[in-house]
Each structure stands twice: as C-alpha cells, then as structure tokens.
Structure 1
C-alpha cells in the first residue's frame, strides 16, 4: 500500500513520542501512517540508553510511523534515509548543507543539530517502522547547535515540520520499492568525516576499531580502511567518536 496520507497527532507534553508510538500502535494507529508530535517531552529518548533533551517548544520532536515496509534487507539503512531526508529539506528550504554522522545524527561543523532513533516491529508480511526525530530549531545542549543559530534568522517551524514528514515518507516509499542503491551516492556525499581517520567504540565506550572512512556501500553499511590496508564493515551498533 502506497497511501501517503499522514495522520497528525499533537501533544503539548508527553513522556516520549517514541514510547507512545510503540506502545499504542496496535490499539490506536494500526495500518495508518501517523506522525506523533510533542511540544515538550519529559523523557525523550535517544540512541541506546541516551536521552534527547529539549527545553524549547519550537524544537521539533516527533515519531513517524510507517506500517507498510516490506523490503526487509534494507531495514538497517532507514536511519540513513531519514537523515538524508532531513538534509534534503534543509537544502530545499534554506540552501543549507549538513552532514550525516554515522549512523543517525545530523552535524554542522562538528556540532550535532538533529538526532534520529529508528525501531521496527514485524506484523505479518510487513514491518512497522517507528522513526523518532529530534530537530534543534532554536535551542540545543552544550556543544550542539540549532538551525536558527546556523541561519542567523527565524524559521517557519510548521513549514519545516510538514516538509520533514512528507520527505521522509516519500523517501521511505522509494527505499521500499527500489532499494538503497539510488540513495548511495548522495548519502556518501553527505557522510561526515569521509576520507578521515575515525575511532569506533561499543556501547560501553570501549575501543573496537579505527580506520579511514571509505564509503557507505550499496547495502548501506559503513566501510573503513584499517591500518593494514584491509577494508572492514563497521557494525551499526558502534559509535563513531568525535
């Protein structure tokens, strides 16, 4: 089913849009594309056990539910697709170019501006995708940045939000129908620190590997070249250190 109509739900305050979406999908949102947005989260979720902080109601916090995904082999590429979609919107609206930090953050000049959390649930022949997105519009944590600071002007928050959810759904449909290959080149052009030496650690912050960032391959996996000259596929659960 390729119905692109998005049902919008807005909360003034909630613990987490991601938690609400995953907990209530079967009873409230089954078989419909739904965007659950909150102006404020008391327990926002980030990757692994991290929290997503936001002290501004102008920041954009939402979870997009897409229940029609069938192309199982590309599930792990969805964080890259969402990040690419965000950067496409920034370029279209503001003529602005950022980078994708492996594998689910948006960066501008070494500062995090947006984060993505993707979860999935198998339902029969389809996979339900839950895509949590946090966009810093006018506030950010220390050492981060926000879109208005980058542009040095105010943005239309509703225009940005509507453009984001529509572009994400559009690209997810393309991924579902045609695979990742079509996105490989533009995502490689957006890859943060491509061609540079980077260190990767596990969830316990322990060193795992290091090497030169070569590319995202046609399967959506990050390839690095280690000191011995051999290429290595980086596990998606590893974190790239700055």
Structure 2
C-alpha cells in the first residue's frame, strides 16, 4: 500500500536522495513514503532545485515497484503519477487544474507543483521508481525568478495541513498505480491528454533561441509532444522546448 509506512522527516537534503539511500541500505519496502518538513537541496527536473520554506508545502517521495512495466514504458508511469497529482489537486483547487507536459501540476497558467521520477535499474531490468512530488500548499510569497508559481493557499484563501494532504495524495497515487497495466495504456494516455495545459490550443514556445507559436496535437506513448506549427507537424522530447508563459 502506498503511504504505508508514512515517514515524516524534520529535515533532509532531498526526499529522493533520502529514499535512494534507504533503498541502497535495504531498509525499505515498496509503498514507503517520506514527507519532509524541510528540504535543504530539493530536486526538480533537469537539475533544477526546488525551494520551499520549512513546513509550508508538500514535499514527499514514494518508492514504487513497477513490476508489470518494461523500461520502455517509463512515460506511462510518469503520466499516471501526473494524473494522480491532478486528481489530488482538483479536489481542492477546482476544475481549472491541469497538467503541463510532461508532468508539472498547473492551475490556470501557473505552476502549483512538479514531479521527479528517478529509476533504479538492476540487471538491465526496471526494479524501482523513486517518485518525488513537490506541491505548493501554504506558501504565500515566491522568489522573483520563478515565472508563474501558485499555491493552494493563494487559490483558496485557506491554510492547509500539508501532512494530511500528502496522505490523501498517497491514496490518489494508489488508485492510479493499480490501473497501470499494458492493457490500459491507451486509456491512461487519453486521460492524460484530456487534462493537458494548452491541449489543442495555440501557445508560445521557445526552442534554442527561437520563439514560435504552435498547437499541441498529440502526445506519443513514449511521451514525445506533437506540435502543429502553421501546418507543420513535428514532435519534441523532454527538455527540447520551453513553454513561454506571457503575463
């Protein structure tokens, strides 16, 4: 069961790092979840850091064992976890919740959270997935360099119990993870696409030094994003483009 045990850490450098260390020591079982009151070096995608004031936000890592999946199915796990985060946030923030490709949690055009999955391979097989999730809960002020952050408190005007919310998120992950099977990949992908930020809508993007307007037309099973730029259809992989948010 995901979230059993549920371990609260007063402080750690990163819940993903802590989970990896515990796994390497053979001290944990799948489903174990760590929640941090404070991270001193939280990790985001592509080497970025996740900054959070102590005690204000949801910062947790869950250890999963994706037995039925081949390593080539990594995106299906990513999509399922993104859908779980969406299910969770939707309960409190309402139907303006969405997913920004590939797995950021959005409300309107603002970022509420992110997901970082680190895989553990042994003998050429996919043994574990270390799933880190950070969601802005009670933070009211953000660093100026962040382009478009938002927290649940800013959306609702309420203070929340981040630990209790993390346990609710575990239940959402449990439901989506139980559905994660090759026979359901098409349904998972369709659900994921239906929640996408800018789905079938024109938006501004940056690739290298070039800015362009394009429309998201599809997401491939391996996670590549299919764009339509003035009738030219092409696909991009993770990290190849930036979504440009205009204020």
Q: How much does 1:93 deviate?
A: 4.6
Quick one: distance in 1 between partners of 2:3 and 2:137? 25
TM-score of the two chains, using structure 2 as the length reference: 0.84
Q: 8 Å contact 1:14–1:42 — kept in the other structure?
A: yes
> How large is the Cα RMSD of the aligned pairs?
2.5
Count of equivalent residues: 236
Q: Secondary structure at the match of 1:162?
A: helix
Hey, what does 2:173 align to over in structure 1?
Answer: 168
Q: Secondary structure at the match of 1:24?
A: helix
Q: Specify whether residues 186 and 199 from structure 1 end up closer, same or farther in structure 2 by C-alpha distance, changes over 3 A only.
A: same
Quick one: distance in 2 between partners of 1:208 and 1:131? 32
TM-score of the two chains, using structure 1 as the length reference: 0.85
Q: 8 Å contact 2:33–2:63 — kept in the other structure?
A: yes
Q: 8 Å contact 2:110–2:150 — kept in the other structure?
A: yes
After superposition, where does 1:28-39 map in structure 2 within 5 Å?
28-39=26-37
After superposition, where does 1:82-161 map in structure 2 within 5 Å?
82-93=81-92, 95-123=94-122, 125-139=125-139, 141=142, 142=144, 143-161=148-166
Q: Specify whether residues 4 and 178 from structure 1 end up closer, same or farther in structure 2 by C-alpha distance, changes over 3 A only.
A: farther
Q: How much does 1:61 deviate?
A: 0.4
1:191 and 2:196 are equivalent in the alignment = yes
Given the alignment, which residue of 225, 229, 245 partners 1:226?
Answer: 229
Return 5+ residue gaps in structure 2 as ranges.
Answer: none
Hey, what does 2:216 align to over in structure 1?
Answer: 213
Q: Specify whether residues 35 and 207 from structure 1 end up closer, same or farther in structure 2 by C-alpha distance, changes over 3 A only.
A: farther
Return 5+ residue gaps in structure 1 as ranges.
Answer: none
After superposition, where does 1:17-96 map in structure 2 within 5 Å?
17-72=15-70, 73-93=72-92, 95-96=94-95
Q: 8 Å contact 2:75–2:221 — kept in the other structure?
A: no
Residues 180-189 or 16-25, more deviating: 180-189
Q: How much does 1:7 deviate?
A: 1.8
Post-superposition CA distance 1:14-62 (Å, at most 9, x none)? 1111111123313144542211111000111111111000014031101
Given the alignment, which residue of 5, 13, 16 partners 1:15?
Answer: 13
Q: 8 Å contact 1:69–1:176 — kept in the other structure?
A: no
Q: How much does 1:65 deviate?
A: 0.7
